[in-house]
Amino acid sequence: MNDHPYSFGRNGAVSTVETRNRVLRNTYWLLALSMIPTVLGAWVGVATGFSLFAATSPGMSMLAFFAIAFGFMFAIQKTKDSAIGVFVLLGFTFFMGLMLSRILSFVLGFSNGPSLIMLAFGGTGVIFASMATIATVSKRDFSGLGKWLFMGVVVLLLASVANVFLHLPALMLTVSVLAIVIFSAYMLFDVQRVVNGGETNYITATLAIYLDLYNVFVNLLALLGIFGGNRN
């Protein structure tokens, strides 16, 4: 996926060591910065009871989400070589924060909701730190994972869409567990692309890793809410 508009930050050419280090450093800084609009969006969403197209069917809500999200991703790809790309990315992370409000409101309905959220946040951080460390110090090439992980994401999307209509608890749990595994592996894949010079743009690198973190957090929080939520 070389410079494809829907490569979700996974593009670029091999670069020098100096460029790799600069891209990695800028990526981590922008990734940290992107957490601010995400938290702000989540807070606004929970405080206002935001629900995307709540009056429509779940299927239409999902289509609306994909349309807006893909629109942002397309805009990020188009503006990745300018400062505008940073602001578009931050706008996208605010939107994704808004989309967190539904699951956050659900988990906050538990008496131990805040601790579950912090546990999911900490668990996501541990997973990212582990994958990033492996990607940085390992001599093994993980680029071969790309096609398998992409196929896994396609299966996850199809299963998620199907469960919007089927409402099968077992399928939802399976999707959440697989999503954590797949996007944890994607962290390894995406960070190593920067380390090895396969990604030379820090904006698209941030986009890819942000999506990995987001999906791990959401699915980890869902599992914690199901198995660790306390209504008393």
Q: Which residue has the higher pLDDT, 181 or 21?
A: 181
Q: What percent of the chain has pLDDT over 70?
A: 90
- Look over the chain and give the mean of its residue pLDDT values, rounded to a whole number: 88
The per-residue pLDDT for 37 is 97
Cβ atoms 32, 213 nearer than 8 A: no
Instruction: State the average pLDDT over residues 94-106.
Output: 93
Model confidence at 162, pLDDT cuts 50, 70, 90, reads confident
pLDDT at 218: 96
Name the residue with higher pLDDT: 229 or 227. 227
pLDDT at 52: 65
Nearest to 209 by CA among 15, 32, 20: 32
pLDDT tier at 126, thresholds 50, 70, 90: very high
pLDDT digits (tens, 9 = 90+) for 25-61: 999 999 999 999 999 999 999 998 877 655 556 667 7
* Lowest-pLDDT choice from 81-85, 157-161, 212-216: 157-161
Higher-pLDDT residue of 143 and 92 is: 92
Three-state SS letters, the chain: CCCCCCCCCCCCCCCCHHHHHHHHHHHHHHHHHHHHHHHHHHHHHHHHCCCCCCCCCHHHHHHHHHHHHHHHHHHHHHHCCCCHHHHHHHHHHHHHHHHCHHHHHHHHCCCCHHHHHHHHHHHHHHHHHHHHHHHHHCCCCCCCHHHHHHHHHHHHHHHHHHHHHHCCHHHHHHHHHHHHHHHHHHHHHHHHHHHCCCCCCHHHHHHHHHHHHHHHHHHHHHHHHHHHCCCC
The whole-number average pLDDT for the span 134-160 is 90
What span, in angstroms and rounded, lies between the C-alpha atoms of 98 and 108?
Answer: 15
Q: What distances in angstroms separate CA 188 from CA 10, 13, 119, 144, 151, one per listed residue?
A: 13, 18, 21, 12, 16
Domain-wise residue ranges, the chain: 17-228
Statement: residue 167 has pLDDT above 90: no
Indicate if the pLDDT at residue 112 is higher than 60: yes
Give the chain's end-to-end CA distance (angstroms, integer). 50
- Give the pLDDT mean for 173-202: 93
Q: What is the pLDDT of residue 19?
A: 81
Region 5-24 average pLDDT: 64
- Over residues 54-71, the pLDDT tens digits come to 555 666 778 888 899 999
